[in-house]
Amino acid sequence: MSSKLSKTHNLAWRKFLVAHVMLIEQIEQDLAQAELPPLSWYDVLFALSEAPEQRLRLHELAEAVLLSRSNLTRLLDRLEAAGLIQREQCSSDRRGAFAVITNEGFKMLDQMWSVYGQAIEKYFACHLDANEVKFFIKILNRLTRATSTKSESY
């Protein structure tokens, strides 16, 4: 019953969606053109490279990458097949496994970043000055925090 969504807010939402697809499409295209794997690979490699000991439990990784688990399983299969990560048994929990980034993985991470980083600059960052970017972050923080609770719809 609350609703009463303003025209302007509605417009903002549509533009948000459009901006997202266009940017992602463009970036994926840049990566593909450089014969590099898709963004999802980057996300995994990046998360692992930042993690202590370059390794994460699979469920932690899934969380970090915002991916369902079944999805992550098969994404890791591909990365493992490409030699970019390895699975390692967890000694303290025999169900569990770590994903560990390999040297090859680090190399790929660098290669991808050289394209990805430039793309972010080219399509995104260069359009936001120092004040704007802070404002932008402030807003996005609010949006994510509100949703992060995973609250029921009440």
Partner DNA sequence: CTATAGTAGTTGCAACTGCAACTATCTCAT
Partner DNA sequence: ATGAGATAGTTGCAGTTGCAACTACTATAG
What residues between 55 and 84 interact with a second copy by CB under 8 A? 66
Q: CB of 93: closest distance to DNA in angstroms?
A: 4
**Partner that binds at residue 122, options a second copy, DNA, none, CB closer than 5 to 8 Å by kind:** a second copy
Q: Where are the alpha helices (DSSP H) in the chain?
A: 7-33, 39-50, 58-65, 69-81, 103-123, 130-148
**Partner that binds at residue 75, options a second copy, DNA, none, CB closer than 5 to 8 Å by kind:** DNA
Residues in Cβ contact with 90 at an 8 Å cutoff, skipping those fewer than 6 apart: 57, 96, 97, 98
In this structure, the number of other CB atoms found within 10 A of the CB of residue 7 comes to 7
Among 4, 74, 94, 95, binds a second copy (CB under 8 A): 4
What residues line the site for DNA (CB under 7 A)? 29, 32, 38, 40, 57-60, 62, 67-78, 87, 90, 93-98, 154
DSSP 94: T
